[in-house]
Chains A and B, each alone.
Chain A
Amino acid sequence: MESLIGLLVAAPLLGAAVLLCGGRRLDRAGHWLGTALAAVSFALGAVLFFDMLGRSGGERTLHQHLFSWIPVEGFQADVAFRLDQLSMTFVLLITGVGTLIHLYSVGYMEHDARRRRFFGYLNLFLAAMLLLVLADNYLLLYVGWEGVGLASFLLIGFWQHKPSAAAAAKKAFLVNRVGDAGLAIAIFLMFTTFGTFAFGEVLAAADGAGEGTLTAIGLMLLLAACGKSAQVPLQSWLGDAMEGPTPVSALIHAATMVTAGVYLITRSGAIYDAAPNAQTVVVIVGAVTLLFGAIVGCAKDDIKKALAASTMSQIGYMVLAAGLGPIGYAFAIMHLVTHGFFKAGLFLGAGSVMHGMNDEVNMRKYGGLRRHMPITFVTFGLGYLAIIGFPGLSGFFSKDLIIEAAFSAGGVRGWVLGGATLLGAALTAYYMTRVMLLTFFGEERWRHRPTATPAEPDVEPAAGRGAAAPGRASGQTAGQAAGAAAEPHPHESPRVMTLPMIVLAFGSVFAGGLFNWGEAFVHWLEPVTRFEHPHPPLPIPVITGATVAVMLLGVGLAWLQYGRRPVPVTAPRGSLLTRAARRDLFQDDFNHAAFVSGGQHLTRSLVYLDHTVVDGAVNGTAAAFGGLSGRLRKVQNGFARSYAVSMFGGAAVLVAATLLMRAV
């Protein structure tokens, strides 16, 4: 069985290699090859899963040692895999959702001339992500970590001819690199402290190390997690990442890659348990991000950006849970999985809507689509109910457990965290209801649309979007590019796209209940993450009731604002908070002021200094020698008698020197 683990990674890697190097010959069948290899990976994962179920709790961890990667004196890095319950959960999520999204992309990218390459990148992503969760040591995890960053870079910038996409891709990679540097430093610290960075040894020895060291490691790992999972302060890339094709947003920026930070924190649980200060920071980051994302999500008119803000917020929940220690790890992972289902479903739904609306993303130009896209409406709606935590659906179970755990953090901390999570739940209900109402209900604002609506800061005009999709519906693209804003004809997407949406909707509905059946999920993970029952200061039904109440409150507020009265196509100016949220609470302005402009000045002045001072010193020396030799040249005037004088003078000096030396 162990030998299958490597194949799990190898299958999509092979797909990536073949698709990216294969050339145009593969254009016709490449997407099916990519999908098939993702499915192979999923099948392998399923086989391993059932094999794992067949063994008892203590013997479920499998190891596969492939080869020694970097053997240097005292530094042993191996290519070795570890498949335990935690990685198994991720494997199934990644390959399962991954396969579905491959399938969806077959339809979504149908008219893109570079579809083969798209599938190559997707397969590359799968391989890197599987490597990330299967690695047996932090260094190999780092390989997967940067590998998914690369895949994300390639996919965000897939439509490279759009400057905004290229810039977003670069931004994502760069911000992630900051996090990666944190992971690298954490690995250095582990190496100097434990002499190794294999999971087994580091985590077993974590108790023995000094708390200061562990706090440092914990904070560095958190930095890495912040980068990958778009947590404050490294959150700014996720919104821009929506420049990528929608399946990418669904797979990478909702279901799998962005949750890698939660995986990292959960995996390193032993380190955090021994470093309470680091845990506190984790919790704070989670709480801040969950509110940050939720607030931003309330103001976005771009459907994908609203969903991206929501992703950020939901991951904030997971990070918060993971920061609570053994009472939260399992809940964090559980929410991660259910979120994987419903958020991927929501993104696919959004993609389906865009597919039918000429790639329009501004929700203010949607409306009343439920009649035109029934399947999309139902699947999206189920995802919506799941994410707001409607009782009985997946999100209800997983989010409610996190809220309970947050209250159980103890003392004031528990009340603050619990309050934050409840507020987040209300906001989630509000912004998701808003998305739902704007898109599927109300009047059909895309009809008889006045031409050339003035662009507001956050929403790009249709012309920019139209140029965004190469090759797709070229006639319409040309029409939109001309600013004529042809009226869209919303239609349901082909079956290859709706099928994955339906499957994910099933997941959104049932996964939570299934996981929570007799605490099945918690016990499944317990050998890896350990588990302690939370003891909230309030009775559990009260918390649950409060959760449902704030959810209904959020829904009601949104309905009052967007359901009862018509929505203007052009966004109103809005309150100060709305405008701030629309600008992502000034995250980019802050980064620009703090790093970008300062950095630009620094590099410019350094370029100048290098030329004038460092190189200037060199050229100055050269010029000084040149000047000196110019002077000296004048001594050589060509007159024989002047040479004779210097000769005699020199001889006289020599004689005098000799005599002096003798005398001394």
Chain B
Amino acid sequence: MSGFPLLTATAVLPALGAVATAAVPAARRAAAKWLALAVSLGTLVLAGLVVARFDPGGARYQLTESYAWIADFGVRFELGVDGIGTALIALTALLVPFVIAAGWHDADPVPGERPAGRWRPTQGFFALILMVEAMVVVSFAATDVFVFYLFFEAMLIPMYFLIGGFGDRAHAAGEAEGAKQRSYAAVKFLLYNLAGGLIMLAAVIGLYVVTADQLGTGTFSLQRITEARAAGELTMAAGTERLLFLGFFLAFAVKAPLWPLHTWLPNAMGESTAPVAVLITAVVDKVGTFAMLRFCLGLFPEASAWATPVVVVLALVSIIYGALLAVGQRDIKRLVAYASISHFGFIVLGIFAMTSQGQSGATLYMVFHGISTAVLMLVAGFLISRRGSRLIADYGGVQKVAPVLAGTFLVGGLATLSLPGLAPFVSEFLVLVGTFSRYPAAGVVATAGIVLAALYVLLLYQRTMTGPVDKPEIERMPDLRRRELAVVAPLIALLIALGVFPKPLTDIVNPAVEHTLSDVRQTDPQPELPAVEAAE
């Protein structure tokens, strides 16, 4: 409580930066870019401080802040992070500078097209990205359900404009059709998530009513509710708890996205620019899975256990279905989107396996998937910007003319298929082990997902990068530029480093997972032969 409000600062800095970036005059586009980059790097420093000040062995929620806000409804602006929140704030702050650097020219005015009126697309683009970052940080840090809800929903506004307002001009049927598709994708994104959010709003109000009913004063405080539930002061009828759980879960399942609520993602990722697609899948969607872990499990343990079988099945369907659809895609970005759906299936599976390996794995998965998808998607974006097409069939033999681009693309792909030695392997294996130890059949089905992952990644690589160079556009294709390499290389280094030595991250995450598991009153299944070491 005492001391510098670090979490608030981490959120306020990008928010202020967004305002400042938006205010940069139209003629000074470059200044706006550098300002945005500087702000995001500053946020990264603050997030680094959050990680440094977080003590894995300490209290569950740390760096807590609490300010009176809407006293009448028991809403307080409460922030605090556990290990999971810390890891995800770090991921967000880490990725945004790369997103900004990768999208350096994405919002430049098209030569020959005069920008209309006072609309300053470049400034707007970077301001919106920073705005999203600010809101995501608050979402990860909020320990008040109402505050979380507010920012969870508010995030939709800047995202809507980022998806609908900026595209990669690589649509097969021309720019007019592209604009139409973009606006369709943006509206679909907004409506899908709003629908989920509205259901959640009802559940939030329901939660307030329940707490007001039993605790005397209504509250949205996560800690207060968890403690009251543990102490037996707050009991919910099974039916009420399940309804409230479903209300929360649906919103998160849309955001995550879980089959069959996934169809907005391919549109949104396909139509937006690659950096925005990274922002969607690597950062914004993680709020959904994070919230399942923190709010669904933390607030409604019994209902979570009740829903587990269905959720596990949905997660499995997501894994296999997403992978199969990725195999069948003809559009690079939509392929990555379906691959992400498959990966989100893994994350949800790990969460609802209710084992420490599964949940630690799921948390690590969120972080590692963020980084690996960023590599794959950003390199795909660089590729698309060179050729002006998103169709896989328009490529072939890129490896010969642009070996570095092909190499980084391959590394991103290998990370996506969870090659050991790269970070995603650690998380995927943990999720699978954790799932298998509780639901062997589910574990086996999910393992089939790793074969399919190899299929879609390698097919993509084979079709785009290998073979003879038989298209003139590809013959002239330049290799990665210095800026682009500077974006991708650190991320790849991080993938390798965390794949070999993930301990710093697991140390942060493990205690938080133990807390969550004790919330849902689950213990790990024990091995059949626990006395092995004694026998030796």
Q: Tell whether any CB of A sits under 8 Å from a CB of B in the complex.
A: yes
Q: Which A residues are CB-close (under 8 A) to B329?
A: 607
CA distance A180 to B447 in the complex (A): 10
Stretch at the interface among A166-174, A276-284, A577-585, A650-658: A166-174
A643 within 8 A of B: no
CA distance A74 to B506 in the complex (A): 13
Stretch at the interface among A190-198, A352-360, A506-514: A190-198
Q: Which A residues are CB-close (under 8 A) to B459?
A: 170
Do A174 and B455 form a contact, CB below 8 Å, given A143-B421, A161-B466, A618-B192? yes
Do A73 and B356 form a contact, CB below 8 Å, given A142-B420, A146-B419? yes
Q: Is the interface of A mostly helix, strand, loop or mixed?
A: helix
Question: Would you call A188 and B454 a contact (CB within 8 A)?
Answer: no
Measured CB to CB, the nearest residue on chain A to B458 is A170
Stretch at the interface among B2-10, B132-140, B437-445: B437-445
B104 within 8 A of A: no
A18 nearest CB across to chain B (Å) = 15
Q: Which residues of A, 175-189, contact B by the 8 Å Cβ criterion?
A: 177-178, 180-181, 184-185, 187-189
Question: Would you call A166 and B466 a contact (CB within 8 A)?
Answer: yes
B475 within 8 A of A: no
A72 within 8 A of B: yes
CA distance A403 to B246 in the complex (A): 65
Stretch at the interface among A82-90, A202-210, A452-460: A202-210
B310 within 8 A of A: no
Question: Would you call A71 and B506 a contact (CB within 8 A)?
Answer: yes
B414 within 8 A of A: yes
Question: Would you call A139 and B451 a contact (CB within 8 A)?
Answer: no
Q: Which A residues are CB-close (under 8 A) to B356?
A: 72-75
Q: Which residues of A, 116-173, contact B by the 8 Å Cβ criterion?
A: 139, 142-143, 145-147, 150, 153, 157, 160-163, 165-167, 169-170, 173
A622 within 8 A of B: yes
Question: Would you call B443 and A75 a contact (CB within 8 A)?
Answer: no
Question: Would you call B324 and A73 a contact (CB within 8 A)?
Answer: no
Stretch at the interface among A385-393, A437-445, A598-606, A627-635: A598-606
Q: Is the interface of B mostly helix, strand, loop or mixed?
A: helix
CA distance A75 to B358 in the complex (A): 11
Do A70 and B426 form a contact, CB below 8 Å, given A161-B467, A174-B451, A205-B535? yes
Question: Would you call B454 and A174 a contact (CB within 8 A)?
Answer: yes
CA distance A142 to B513 in the complex (A): 26
CA distance A192 to B530 in the complex (A): 10
Q: Which A residues are CB-close (under 8 A) to B437?
A: 188, 191-192
Q: Which residues of B, 323-341, contact A by the 8 Å Cβ criterion?
A: 324-325, 327-329
Measured CB to CB, the nearest residue on chain B to A605 is B328
Question: Would you call B430 and A606 a contact (CB within 8 A)?
Answer: no
Q: Which A residues are CB-close (under 8 A) to B400?
A: 160-161
A353 nearest CB across to chain B (Å) = 27
CA distance A583 to B356 in the complex (A): 50
Do A181 and B450 form a contact, CB below 8 Å, given A71-B503, A195-B527? yes
Question: Would you call B327 and A143 a contact (CB within 8 A)?
Answer: no
Size range of the chain A interface in the assembly: 35 or more
CA distance A602 to B321 in the complex (A): 10
Question: Would you call A75 and B357 a contact (CB within 8 A)?
Answer: yes
B517 nearest CB across to chain A (Å) = 9
- B499-514 interface code vs A (CB 8 A; 1 in, 0 out): 0111100110010011
Question: Would you call B448 and A181 a contact (CB within 8 A)?
Answer: yes
B72 within 8 A of A: no
Do A147 and B192 form a contact, CB below 8 Å, given A72-B506, A181-B451? no
A590 within 8 A of B: no
Q: Which residues of B, 148-173, contact A by the 8 Å Cβ criterion?
A: none
Q: Which residues of A, 202-247, contact B by the 8 Å Cβ criterion?
A: 204-205, 208-210, 213
CA distance A364 to B188 in the complex (A): 63
With beta carbons under 8 angstroms apart, the residue of B444, B501, B527 that contacts A193 is B527
Question: Would you call B450 and A177 a contact (CB within 8 A)?
Answer: yes
CA distance A194 to B425 in the complex (A): 22
CA distance A262 to B196 in the complex (A): 53
Measured CB to CB, the nearest residue on chain B to A171 is B458
B191 within 8 A of A: yes
CA distance A615 to B430 in the complex (A): 32
CA distance A177 to B443 in the complex (A): 16
Question: Would you call B451 and A178 a contact (CB within 8 A)?
Answer: yes
A610 within 8 A of B: yes
With beta carbons under 8 angstroms apart, the residue of A72, A174, A604 that contacts B510 is A72
Q: Which A residues are CB-close (under 8 A) to B514?
A: 73
CA distance A165 to B414 in the complex (A): 19
Question: Would you call B433 and A185 a contact (CB within 8 A)?
Answer: no
CA distance A165 to B462 in the complex (A): 10
Question: Would you call B468 and A163 a contact (CB within 8 A)?
Answer: yes
- B404-434 interface code vs A (CB 8 A; 1 in, 0 out): 0001000000100001110001100110110
A68 within 8 A of B: yes
A51 within 8 A of B: no
8 contacts between A and B (CB under 8 A): A71-B506, A72-B360, A143-B421, A162-B468, A204-B536, A208-B529, A606-B325, A614-B262
The 9 closest A-B CB pairs, nearest first, are A195-B527, A166-B466, A603-B328, A188-B436, A143-B420, A73-B356, A607-B328, A160-B466, A615-B263
**Known contacts A145-B420, A160-B399, A160-B465; 10 further A-B pairs (Cβ under 8 A):** A70-B430, A71-B510, A73-B524, A75-B433, A161-B397, A163-B468, A165-B466, A192-B528, A205-B535, A617-B260
